[in-house]
Amino acid sequence: MYEFARDTNITIPCTFTTTVQPPKSGVITWSRRPTDSTDPNVPFETILTFYYPDNSYDLSAGFDPKRFSVDVDFLKGKANLLINFLKLEDSTLYECAVQIRRDSVGKNVDTTNLVVLAAPSEPICEVQGIPQFGQNIHLICFSEEAFPAPQYKWQSHDVQNNLLLDPSSVAGKCY
């Protein structure tokens, strides 16, 4: 698993070996699938396909060429995926598949999980209900944007800002 901050540029490595020396041709495919899918049969979506020996690649429709590319040294077994300006929706499962003509030995597919981190936006804190003696209220605190989702807690303080351990206190702060 890889964790990177939003808006950064990253490299997801893919290394491979072959029993065919020297390889005459090969194809490398980078794909992705949502990690939150509960159905393991959800297909991978192809990002790009690299062709050796002409060292060219096709980028699938819907993928921005300014954001997605590949860094390949086929003879050295390197096929890294480059993603620029990470977005939250880039958090997903990625797969690198290598096919080399006349090489059917070994593992030709590997997957990894990418998690894009985003700092929480300023918390929005609300009181639901009427804050009067004897009335129940609900204190709510959330950030409109963050990954992973932050955990907030409420603490009560007296007028001298001393922490109160009694949850029935009126004054509260969200952290």
CATH number at residue 53: 2.60.40.10
Mean pLDDT, residues 9-22 taken together: 93
Give the pLDDT confidence score for residue 105 in this predicted structure: 81
Separation between Cα atoms, residue 141 and residue 139, nearest integer Å: 7
Domain co-membership, 55 together with 75: yes
Give the pLDDT confidence score for residue 42 in this predicted structure: 82
DSSP category for residue 21: S
Quick one: which of 45, 72, 68, 44 has its CA closest to 56?
72
Greater confidence, 124 or 35?
Answer: 124
Give the pLDDT confidence score for residue 76 in this predicted structure: 93
134 is in which domain, residue-wise? 124-174
170 pLDDT band, cuts 50/70/90, is very low
For the cut 70, the answer to whether the pLDDT of residue 155 exceeds it is: yes
Domain co-membership, 145 together with 63: no
Q: Is 0.85 topped by the overall pTM? A: no
Separation between Cα atoms, residue 43 and residue 95, nearest integer Å: 11
Give the pLDDT confidence score for residue 79 in this predicted structure: 96
Could you write out the DSSP letters of every residue in 115-127? EEEBPPPPPEEEE
Mean pLDDT, residues 21-43 taken together: 86
Which one of 117, 140, 164 terminates a domain?
117
Give the pLDDT confidence score for residue 93 in this predicted structure: 93
The continuous run of DSSP H or E covering 27 comes out as strand 26-33
165 alpha carbon, distance to own chain's centre = 38
Separation between Cα atoms, residue 109 and residue 102, nearest integer Å: 16
81-120 residue pLDDT tens: 999 999 999 999 999 999 999 898 877 889 999 999 998 8
As for how many domains the chain has, the answer is: 2
Mean pLDDT, residues 48-77 taken together: 96
Domain co-membership, 83 together with 145: no
Could you write out the DSSP letters of every residue in 54-99? TTEEEEPTT--TTTEEEEEEGGGTEEEEEE-S--GGG-EEEEEEEE
Mean pLDDT, residues 126-137 taken together: 86
Least confident range from 104-108, 154-158, 167-171: namely 167-171
Mean pLDDT, residues 114-140 taken together: 88
Q: Determine what percent of the chain is predicted with pLDDT higher than 90.
A: 51
